[in-house]
Structure 1
Amino acid sequence: MAQSLLLSLETSSPICSIALHRVADGALLGQSELRLEKSHSSHLTVLIEQLLANTGHRAVDLAAVAVSDGPGSYTGLRIGGAAAKGLCFALDIPLVAVSTLQALAHQVATATARPEAWLYCPMLDARRQEVYAALYRADGQEVLPPAPLILDADTLAEQMAGHSLLFFGSGAAKFRALRPEAAAAAFLDGVMPSAVAVGALGLELFRKEQFQDVAYYEPFYLKEVYTTTPKAK
């Protein structure tokens, strides 16, 4: 059936991840991931073509594209955003943008026993002692909005005083080194952003018709991107 699918792209991390959901019932039809550094620009389009072919579909079957909105890798987000905008423009379909941190929290919450017992703190490495982080309840309600945090032993101390927090993502290990015995904190290893979670939240946005302007959409980089001019030889 034409225009019955949601394609999701997650390129905010070194993992190039895509997923395909059926709009009618939210069923996951397929997913594909490539864990190669700096592979997004050369492999993303190929992964999309292969996933559509392997599930017996074509690009014209897409009803919308969901893209991981950031924060994360500037280059990765730019590539994912450009690919999503290109597909939406060519097929005349809507674009939905999903918070990278919220999708990561959703990914963990849906796989956690007694999810309501925790607050979820995804942390993405932003180099040195800095991370991009946010805080969510199991139902996705935002407790603290996404922000760059400089980590020290007192980071999120107020929140841990009254709640049990679950930390995960590429920046969580840096915080665990500062709070190794925090009674109210637990840490998960190996949790990386996935297009499956982007798609799950993207379906909700699609059904609410919370679309982006395809012409003017820019990822949520969270911090300004600084570039330098090469020194003259």
Structure 2
Amino acid sequence: MSYILNIETATKNCSVALAKGGKTILCKEIADEGYSHAERLHVFIEEIIQESGIGMKDLEAIAVSQGPGSYTGLRIGVSAAKGLCYALNIPLIAVDTLLALASKVSVTDGVIVPMLDARRMEVYSAVFSSTLEKNREILAEIIDENSFAEIKGKVYFVGDCNEKCKSVLTKDNFVFLDNIKYPSANEMSVLSFDKYKISDTVDVAYFEPYYLKDFLVASPKKQ
């Protein structure tokens, strides 16, 4: 049956999708400015299982967005995914967050640049072809007027930092798709199934999210 539960919590979008054979059956998500992942995630999982009419024992695998993204969001998603895998004794599949975001774009030319906000003018980004082949690895980079200048064809930008980058990335071949802001578990369905078919799974005990850069905890201010 190949039922896979997909979990995406790397951004403000808390998203869960149930897929069968790589096709989404049900998807529940909410993009909340207050990051309500801890409250919403398990509710979404329970609702999807109940509404789909299957049991947890029917799941063949759990897929989780591996990052980069929000430290807290990633921790919540990965912890939930690991817990389910342990309880059900099924494999864990890790899906590239930026690839899932790029998968929301349908173009036949140029390249796709998914970007997620990393504060100030720094972003997490990658470069994919129109057929979703990775042309450049994921980086945490500071955006300036020279960013992506070497790319001659169309460059389609998606993600939650389009607004802050528009004033800097002004070349004629740059296109901002503002309607595509966050990755979703819906696009994870195909990606996770492709990995499932070739047993591309991760170790449940040792898997950690891909934070890309160290999580910095601010020191408390002196009184």
TM-score using structure 2 length: 0.95
1:56 correspondence with 2:53: yes
1:105 correspondence with 2:102: yes
1:137 corresponds to = 129
CA distance in 2, matches of 1:34, 1:105: 19
Q: Decide whether the 8 Å contact of 2:23 with 2:189 is kept in 1.
A: no
Using the TM superposition, give the Cα deviation of residue 190 of structure 1 relative to its aligned residue in structure 2, in angstroms: 3.0
CA distance in 1, matches of 2:126, 2:27: 26
Q: Secondary structure at the match of 2:10?
A: coil
Q: Decide whether the 8 Å contact of 2:6 with 2:17 is kept in 1.
A: yes
Q: Decide whether the 8 Å contact of 2:69 with 2:116 is kept in 1.
A: yes
Q: Decide whether the 8 Å contact of 1:116 with 1:137 is kept in 2.
A: no
Q: What are the superposed Cα offsets for residues 121-165 of structure 1, whole Å, 9 maximum, x if unpaired?
A: 001111101111000012221111110110111111012xx2211
Using the TM superposition, give the Cα deviation of residue 183 of structure 1 relative to its aligned residue in structure 2, in angstroms: 1.4
Q: Secondary structure at the match of 1:43?
A: helix
Aligned partner (choices 15, 18, 32) of residue 17 of structure 1: 15
2:173 corresponds to = 184
Q: CA RMSD in A?
A: 1.4
CA distance in 2, matches of 1:48, 1:96: 17
2:28 corresponds to = 32
Aligned length: 221
| Runs of 5+ consecutive residues of structure 1 not aligned to the other structure | none
2:216 corresponds to = 226
Q: Decide whether the 8 Å contact of 2:65 with 2:94 is kept in 1.
A: yes
Q: Decide whether the 8 Å contact of 2:147 with 2:169 is kept in 1.
A: no
CA distance in 1, matches of 2:61, 2:71: 23
Q: What are the superposed Cα offsets for residues 61-81 of structure 1, whole Å, 9 maximum, x if unpaired?
A: 110011011011000000000
Partner amino acid for 1:184?
Answer: N
2:203 corresponds to = 213
Stretches (4+) displaced over 4 A: none
CA distance in 2, matches of 1:92, 1:118: 42
| Runs of 5+ consecutive residues of structure 2 not aligned to the other structure | none
Using the TM superposition, give the Cα deviation of residue 173 of structure 1 relative to its aligned residue in structure 2, in angstroms: 2.1
Q: Secondary structure at the match of 1:116?
A: coil
Partner amino acid for 1:204?
Answer: D
Q: Decide whether the 8 Å contact of 2:23 with 2:190 is kept in 1.
A: no
Q: Secondary structure at the match of 2:108?
A: helix
CA distance in 1, matches of 2:90, 2:73: 22
